[in-house]
Amino acid sequence: MIWEHKMLKTSDSLARRLVGSSIIYMRRFLFRILSVGPIPNHIAFILDGNRRYAKKWNIAEATGYRAGFLAVMCMLKYCYELGVKYTTIYAFGIDNFKRRPEEVQYLMDLMLEKIEGLIKQESIVNEYGVRVHFVGDLKLLNERVRVAAEKAMQATVNNTNSTLLICVAYTSTDEILHAVQSSCLEKWKEIQELDANQAQNGEITEEKQELKHIIKLVDIERHTYMGLAPDPDVLIRTSGETRHSNFLLWQTTSCLLYSPKVLFPEIGLRHLVWAVLNFQRLYPHSFGEGKEITAILPLLVFYMRFVLLFLRPVIATANHYIQI
């Protein structure tokens, strides 16, 4: 009986490894096919549906948020394997501080736990060489979370393969207001310095006349929180919602919005693939020596559909063993 139990346990372990290896190889093959076309340089995510996921499955909200975090890690891993250089996640908006105090406190505790996990040697940011930036009005965070965020940014400063921007205590209106105020303050200091120079030289220079003009667009963009990265190519918001919810309003004027109906903890590889395919279809680019990807996109889309259909039974088997 003991021998049979050991054999069954060994068989299950072997099956899990085989299924896991099959999925990894097929995913890499899928990404190689997808890389024939242009890959988005920057993908942003709005993490919508964690509480509804908990309600749907009759589990605690805390469990729903943790499931959402696991989905974030999967999406980031897929993006880095695919070659996406910049990823942004909307983790916590300023308006979220208006939620129930116990919910806000739990989210802060969860955020602290996950931030501290980011700087561990075996974390995804070190595995893939990802530099982390926390963007937003970080002064609104409690001291423990703010200090942990600063440590994570410092710990990953030498990572150069990709960049992860985590928006916390963030709204786009606050970002724009901050950029305008910072630009005005910078301009005022420059004018004061020129006034001091004029008092010494006794003349009004062309440089000062130029500075007295209105603030330029480039000045404001330089002071935005998201000035660390190029504008997103794709914005993914789950739950089928098409609202931006005060997120990256300045930066998403020309990016693709993809809104799968699944709740965020349910998002998977196929949703990322469809988002990239839509990007390739709607925004054709030239590559190589002037060759156009547009002509082969229909064939590429068909082939991707075939591969994904082939992956479904493998993924179903993997889920079965994971549940065991």
Would you call 219 a catalytic residue per the annotation? no
**Residue 41: band (very low, low, confident or very high) from pLDDT cuts 50, 70, 90:** very high
What the block records as the tokens of 322 is 């994971």
Give the best-scoring range by mean pLDDT among 40-49, 283-292, 303-312.
Answer: 40-49
Helix (H, G, I), strand (E, B) or coil at 284: coil
pLDDT tens string 183-215:
999 888 877 777 776 666 656 556 556 655 678
Half-sphere exposure of 107 (CA within 13 A, CB side): 22
Q: What is the dihedral sign for C-alpha 296, 297, 299, 303?
A: positive
Q: Which residue has the higher pLDDT, 145 or 24?
A: 145
H-assigned helices in the chain: 2-34, 50-56, 61-82, 101-118, 124-127, 143-155, 172-201, 206-211, 217-222, 269-282, 297-323
For residues 242-246, give the mean pLDDT.
91
Residue 123's nearest CA partner among 84, 83, 86, 80 is: 80
Find all residues with CB under 8 Å of 67, minimum gap 6, and list them: 50, 53, 54, 265
- Delimit the domains of the chain by residue range: 40-170+231-268, 172-224
pLDDT score for 161: 95
Find all residues with CB under 8 Å of 308, minimum gap 6, and list them: 30, 270, 273
Query: Do 75 and 44 contact (CB within 8 A), yes or no?
Result: no
Whole-number mean pLDDT of the chain? 83
Pairing of strands 42-46, 234-237: parallel
Asked whether the predicted pLDDT for residue 249 surpasses 60, the reply is yes
Please provide the DSSP assignment of 109-161 as one string: HHHHHHHHHHTSTTSHHHHTTEEEEEES-GGGS-HHHHHHHHHHHHHTTT--S
Pick the CATH number of 40-170+231-268 from 3.30.1490.20, 3.30.1700.10, 3.30.9.10, 3.40.1180.10: 3.40.1180.10
Helix (H, G, I), strand (E, B) or coil at 223: coil
pLDDT tens string 110-154:
999 999 988 886 789 999 999 999 999 999 999 999 999 999 999
Q: Amino acid identity, residue 270? A: R
What the block records as the tokens of 178 is 């901050």
For residues 70-76, give the mean pLDDT.
95
Range 307-315, long-range pairs (CB < 8 A, 24+ positions)? 307/26, 307/29, 307/30, 307/33, 308/30, 308/270, 308/273, 310/26, 311/23, 311/26, 311/30, 311/269, 314/19, 314/22, 314/23, 314/26, 315/23
Residue 50's nearest CA partner among 259, 236, 248, 262 is: 262
pLDDT score for 35: 86
Q: Which residue has the higher pLDDT, 133 or 303?
A: 133
Select which of 48, 109, 137, 174 is catalytic. 48
**Residue 298: band (very low, low, confident or very high) from pLDDT cuts 50, 70, 90:** low
